[in-house]
Amino acid sequence: MSALAGHLGVPLSTATSLVKRLVQKELVDRTPSAEDQRIMHVDLTAEGEKLALQAKAVMESMFARVRAELTPEEPQQFLSLAVKVGKALQGKESGKAAPDPKFRKIAIDD
């Protein structure tokens, strides 16, 4: 569960609560490891896999619609601007104030 929380960038309690709800909805299965009972394996169920594929198809369709409206140069410009905005929000630009401590930092690589 801690590895999942790390990948999602959320506290362990949030990941545990999320998985518990997904188990109740029968979208994931949670099983203890045969080697170490402290380790829980979280796997998509058939229904979870189906829903994930549907979500992926919707996102791909939306991205295709956006790409169709952009010139070949604009996706790179957008990415550069998004990275710049992310860094500014993290306070990495010179002369910028530190971000609000209530928000968790997420590193953005170039």
pLDDT confidence bin for 89, thresholds 50/70/90 = confident
8 vs 63, 67, 77, 100, 108, CA distance in Å? Answer: 22, 27, 27, 21, 15
Kindly state the helix (H) or strand (E) to which residue 42 belongs, with its residue range: strand 40-44
What pTM does this model have?
A: 0.63
pLDDT at residue number 38: 87
pLDDT at residue number 31: 93
The 10s digit of each residue's pLDDT in 27-83 is 999 999 999 988 999 999 999 999 999 999 999 999 999 989 999 899 899 999 999
pLDDT at residue number 56: 97
